[in-house]
Amino acid sequence: MSASEKHGKPEIKPFWSPLAAGIALGLVLLLTFVLSGHGLGASGAANDVVAGVGLKLAPEATRANGYLGPMVADGSPIGSWMTWEILGVAIGALVAAFMAGRFRVQLDGARSVGTPARLISTLAGGFMAGLGARIAGGCTSGLGLSGAAALGISAFVFLALFFATGLIVSRLVKGV
């Protein structure tokens, strides 16, 4: 028993090595292709939620919208594969964090940049990522990871610009 366990706090287990995590992620991605015919994703679930909630709250405007309209033509996309998958991500992450003693409720970044600045940086970051994912037709998971595993040219263009811009912006703005 470690010192931290004696004091009643669960021991914080280390993260997996990048090689081990990468192999595991690659096998999960391969299983996903074999089962579903496509890769993993994340921003697609936000897309389905926006279309589904839009259909509930403002059905006329949603059906008339050039982008959301075709998505809701056959009913609400909530309940799609992607929405179930993102619910699974939540469950999997929760189980992993609890099992490793890494679950802690916090506003991460509040101490380093201050609470107001952190709320703005994370909201602005989410907005840019959400908008960018829709422009590209996928995010880091759906286009960068899954698209590259399918050897799509656009995935490598996405990753190159993702890396270059992130490198520059992280030097200009301290968000966390």
Q: By CB under 8 A, is residue 163 in contact with another protein? A: yes
Closer of 1 and 117 to another protein (Cβ):
117
C-alpha dihedral sign at 145, 48, 98, 104: positive
Give, as ranges, the residues between 93 and 152 that touch another protein (CB under 8 A).
93-97, 100-113, 118-119, 121-141, 143-152
What Cα–Cα distance (Å) separates residue 43 from each residue in 95, 123, 176?
Answer: 22, 15, 22
Cβ contacts of residue 133 below 8 Å, gap of 6+?
43, 46, 139, 142, 143
Query: Of these, 42, 72, 76, 77, which contacts another protein (CB under 8 A)?
Result: 42
Q: By CB under 8 A, is residue 164 in contact with another protein? A: yes
Closer of 1 and 153 to another protein (Cβ):
153
The tokens 């992280």 sit on which residue?
170
Q: By CB under 8 A, is residue 64 in contact with another protein? A: no
